[in-house]
Amino acid sequence: MAESVNDLSPAVAAASAGDVSGRRGFGVDVGGSGVKGGLVDLETGELIGDRIKIETPQPATPDAIAATVREIVTQAGWDGEVGLTLPSVVTDGVARTAANIDKSWIGTDARALFSAALSGRPVTVLNDADAAGIAEDRYGAGKDVDGVVVLLTFGTGIGSAILHHGVLLPNTELGHMEVDGKEAEHRAASSVKEQQDLSYKDWSKEVTRVLTRFEDLLWPDLFIAGGGISRKGEKWIPHLTNRTPVVAATLRNTAGIVGAALAAQSTPAR
């Protein structure tokens, strides 16, 4: 049986210890605009061959997404275990929330759905920010950090992943934490910058306020900034004044795929 998200931490810890030599995995990252999949070299965290992308069906119902995932895996010719991300809190394989996908996902047994769509093969399903976090911690901006790493994805909202020595604490929702009377993501998501037409310097003041609250609670060793705005990190990260170092994510649009493949790596690929 595939692991539930609550069982991911031992697998991620093993991977962080280097138990992936010569291994390959397959990950699928389900997003609001596109469903992306690819074969991953689990030793390096790099994609093998081209990424496959199909536009997210609308409405993005469970059955429609499952059919899209099946098409991606079929195109790739992959017959092993598959790791998948959802923009959702996922516990024991069940989607508990739905962001940028159809609300009918709430309460859906995503693990059973995807396994059935893939002819009964084992699957691992996890939150998309968690997948990006374990990928960045293992292969990317956090790979040389021995301690607490917090990845934050700045987009329409703020996604989060917390790792301690490579072990994931799944389904953190730091973007919904109240900071001075507002949810963190209502202060510092990149969508707020766009909606209010803020300069990078002014927006970074709100990001600093949010990061300061997070670091006062978690005392991380590093923040990794993900999301599309991380590509322009040189324009805003230097303006941050919180005490914890902040660096831009390095895997960017492959992080979800890589993290999903890594999360599923405890079952050997065939």
Give which of 190, 195, 212, 203 is closest to 238, Cα–Cα.
203
Mean pLDDT within 91-111: 96
Whether residue 148 sits in one domain with residue 104: no
Is 20 inside a domain boundary? Answer: yes
Whether residue 227 sits in one domain with residue 184: yes
Give which of 11, 251, 255, 252 is closest to 124, Cα–Cα.
11
Whether residue 16 sits in one domain with residue 115: yes
- Report cis status (omega within 30 of 0) of the bond before 59: yes
Whether residue 77 sits in one domain with residue 43: yes
Average per-residue pLDDT in the chain?
91
Is 270 inside a domain boundary? Answer: no
Whether residue 259 sits in one domain with residue 167: no
Whether residue 27 sits in one domain with residue 124: yes
Is 173 inside a domain boundary? Answer: yes
Q: Are the C-beta atoms of 124 and 260 separated by less than 8 Å?
A: yes
Task: Quote the domain boundaries for residue 29.
Answer: 5-131+254-263
Is 268 inside a domain boundary? Answer: no
The confidence score (pLDDT) of residue 20 equals: 57
Is 110 inside a domain boundary? Answer: yes
Which H or E element spans position 10? helix 8-16
pLDDT tens per residue across span 37-86: 999 999 999 999 999 999 999 999 999 999 999 999 999 999 999 999 99
Q: Are the C-beta atoms of 154 and 137 separated by less than 8 Å?
A: no
Whether residue 69 sits in one domain with residue 118: yes
Mean pLDDT within 13-41: 79
Whether residue 122 sits in one domain with residue 161: no
96: domain CATH number is 3.30.420.40
Is 136 inside a domain boundary? Answer: no
Whether residue 151 sits in one domain with residue 236: yes
pLDDT tens per residue across span 153-210: 999 999 999 999 999 999 999 999 999 999 999 999 999 999 999 999 999 999 999 9
| pTM for this entry | 0.90
Whether residue 178 sits in one domain with residue 242: yes
Is 269 inside a domain boundary? Answer: no
What domain count does the chain have?
A: 2
HEC profile of 127-190: EHHHHHHHHHHHHCCCCCCCCEEEEEEECCCEEEEEEECCEEECCCCHHHCEECCEEHHHHHCH
Q: Are the C-beta atoms of 7 and 239 separated by less than 8 Å?
A: no
